[in-house]
Structure formats: C-alpha cells, structure tokens
C-alpha cells in the first residue's frame, strides 16, 4: 500500500462527482487525469511499480483497460482484456460475481493466458472488491500466476481490501 506525495498532482486531477450514476455514490471521475499528460504518466508509473516480474497486464473493462494498456505498451508486455458478458467473440472463461442488487460477470478468452504467464491485474477503482475478486478468479482459471493487483484509487470505507485479504494489492491513492 502506498499513498505518496509524488502522486499529489495526479490526485488533484480526480474529480469527485456526487450522486453519479445513482444517489449516494461518490463517483471518482478520472477523465481530468487522463487529459493531463503528467498526471496520467505519474499514475501509470505508480501502477507499473508493482509488476513484480509480470509478462502480461490484464485490464478490467472499461477504465481498467486504459491503465493496463498504457502499462503494457510502456513496458513491452502483452495486454489481456477482462470484459463484460457477451463482448468477446471466442471461447471464454466466465466468473459471476455479486453486486449490491443482482449479479454481473467478467469474461476472458481462454487462450489469453496459460500456466506460464505471470500477470498484473489492473483496474481504476477498488470499491467493495467484487470486481477485482472476479478478475483474480478468472486468472486462476487460466492457470496463470497473479503477480499483483494494482488499482489507482482505493475507497477504503468499502473494505474491498479485506475481501481480497489473501491477494497482494497495490493502490496508488487511498481515499
Ligand atoms: P467493486 O466491485 O465494488 O470494487 O467496484 C469496482 C468497479 O466499479 C471498478 O471497475 C470501478 O470502475 C467501478 N467503481 C465502483 N465504485 C466507483 C466509484 N465510486 N467511482 C468510480 N468507479 C467506481
């Protein structure tokens, strides 16, 4: 876990949007950060500091894709997409997970990873941890080794870290 001064500038580019997409949610909008080359670069470098020997970076749809793709390109690594249901055209592994009301699922092509791969799993925000847990389970199904999870923003009040207690997770900024 780190919450370092070198990320103060990037932190200043997160916009808090109350009651989006529904009442009671404080949405962490990263679009101002993405528009700013220093803030975006600082965020990507911090997330990539926990590659721990990964040869692939997996991103969770959709904002996780942005950070994962940037890390993969910058470090010459493969990129794997963990997508919402029905988006991937070939055979997939599927993991269902619980939302506040109902269920959602994540899918990954079966040939995206194998037991020789070492993977950094990336998303923008860790809230309750359900999404990240599903991502970890997808990677486990493939037989690949998870080197670390990395999120740009951790919402500590929602206790996602506790749910992922056995999994190494780095968060750039803790709110
Ligand atoms: P959770 O499964 O509850 O940890 O939710 C994490 C996922 O939902 C991530 O993919 C985020 O993009 C999104 N998310 C959850 N809460 C927020 C929030 N307050 N602001 C922005 N994105 C969020």
Size of the chain in residues:
175
Atom 19, ligand 1: which residue's CA is nearest?
A: 27
Look over the chain and give the mean of its residue pLDDT values, rounded to a whole number: 96
Q: Is 110 in the pocket of ligand 1 (CB under 6 A)?
A: no
Q: Is 99 in the pocket of ligand 1 (CB under 6 A)?
A: no
Question: What percent of the chain shows pLDDT beyond 90?
Answer: 93
Q: Is 154 in the pocket of ligand 1 (CB under 6 A)?
A: no
8 A C-beta contact, residue 123 and residue 63: yes
Give the per-residue pLDDT at 3.
47
Atom 15, ligand 1: which residue's CA is nearest?
A: 127
Atom 17, ligand 1: which residue's CA is nearest?
A: 27
Beta bridge partners of 150: 122, 170
Active site residue 11: no
Ligand 1 centroid to Cα of residue 170, in Å, is 16
Which tokens is 40 given? 């975006």
Which domains, ranges and CATH numbers included, belong to the chain? 5-174 (3.40.50.2020)
Ligand 1 centroid to Cα of residue 155, in Å, is 9
Half-sphere CA count of 5, side-chain side, radius 13 A: 0
Q: Which residues contact 110 (CB under 8 A, 6 or more apart)?
A: 90, 91, 92, 93, 142
Atom 16, ligand 1: which residue's CA is nearest?
A: 127
Question: Residue 99: is its pLDDT beyond 90?
Answer: no
Peptide bond connecting 98 to the previous residue in cis, omega within 30 degrees of 0: no
What single-letter DSSP state applies at residue 14?
A: P
Segment 134-162 mean pLDDT: 97
Which pTM was predicted? 0.97
52-73 pLDDT, tens per residue?
A: 999 999 999 999 999 999 999 9
Segment 66-82 mean pLDDT: 98
Give the per-residue pLDDT at 2.
46
Q: How far is CA 61 from CA 7, 66, 70, 80, 125, in A?
A: 24, 9, 14, 11, 11
132-147 pLDDT, tens per residue?
A: 999 999 999 999 999 9
Question: Residue 101: is its pLDDT beyond 80?
Answer: no
Q: 130: pLDDT confidence band, cut at 50, 70 and 90?
A: very high
- Rounded CA separation 131/152 (Å): 14
Give the per-residue pLDDT at 38.
98
23-43 pLDDT, tens per residue?
A: 999 999 999 999 999 999 999
Question: What percent of the chain shows pLDDT beyond 70?
Answer: 98
Q: Which residues contact 175 (CB under 8 A, 6 or more apart)?
A: 28, 153, 154, 155, 156
- Which listed residue (5, 11, 61, 63) is catalytic? 63
User: Residue 114, SS3?
Assistant: coil
Q: 22: pLDDT confidence band, cut at 50, 70 and 90?
A: very high
Active site residue 161: no
């Amino acid at each position: 876990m780190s919450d370092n001064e070198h990320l103060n500038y990037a932190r200043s580019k997160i916009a808090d949007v109350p009651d989006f997409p529904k009442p009671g949610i404080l949405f962490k909008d990263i679009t101002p950060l993405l528009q700013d080359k220093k803030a975006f670069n600082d965020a990507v470098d911090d997330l990539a500091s926990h590659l721990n020997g990964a040869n692939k970076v997996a991103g969770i749809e959709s904002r996780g894709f942005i950070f994962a793709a940037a890390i993969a390109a910058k470090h010459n690594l493969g990129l794997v997409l963990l997508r919402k249901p029905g988006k991937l055209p070939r055979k997939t592994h599927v993991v269902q997970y619980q939302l506040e009301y109902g269920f959602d699922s994540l899918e990954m092509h079966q040939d995206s990873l194998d037991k020789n791969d070492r993977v950094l799993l990336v998303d923008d925000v860790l809230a309750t941890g359900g999404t990240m847990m599903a991502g970890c389970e997808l990677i486990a199904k493939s037989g690949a080794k998870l080197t670390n999870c990395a999120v740009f923003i951790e919402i500590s009040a929602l206790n996602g870290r506790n749910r992922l207690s056995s999994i190494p997770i780095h968060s750039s900024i803790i709110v």
